């Protein structure tokens, strides 16, 4: 088993900056706002994947609205809701 430290805001922002391949159709994704959600790299990957599936079902490019809903759903799977600070970042 390998333990990875929980990523800080700046590390989460960097993960979000490079989460999608260049060919992925994305809108104006704001990595600073996405990074406010306290999540591990694995959870960020799950959020990104879920958001991409949600966008593809419409079909649309991946937008912040998809990632907001994907974040809420992934965090609920982990047994928690978004904190007030996390929610404020989306307003």
pTM of the model as a whole: 0.93
CA 82/CA 61 separation, integer angstroms:
24
Give residue 52's pLDDT band: very low, low, confident or very high (50, 70, 90): very high
Contacts of 42 (CB under 8 A, 6+ apart): none
Cβ distance 44 to 15 under 8 Å?
yes
Cβ distance 37 to 86 under 8 Å?
yes
Span 9-34, mean pLDDT?
A: 96
pLDDT in tens, 25-44: 999 999 999 999 999 999 99
pLDDT in tens, 65-76: 999 999 999 999
Tokens of 80: 């928690």
CA 91/CA 89 separation, integer angstroms:
6
Residue 62 — φ and ψ, nearest 5°? -70, 120
The per-residue pLDDT of the chain, averaged, comes to 95
């Amino acid at each position: 088993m390998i333990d990875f430290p929980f990523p800080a805001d700046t590390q989460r922002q960097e993960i979000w900056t490079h989460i999608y391949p260049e060919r992925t159709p994305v809108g104006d994704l704001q990595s600073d706002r996405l990074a406010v959600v306290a999540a591990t790299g694995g959870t960020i990957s799950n959020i990104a994947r879920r958001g991409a599936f949600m966008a593809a079902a419409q079909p649309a490019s991946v937008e912040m609205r998809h990632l907001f809903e994907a974040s809420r759903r992934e965090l609920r799977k982990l047994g928690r809701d978004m904190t007030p600070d996390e929610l404020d970042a989306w307003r």
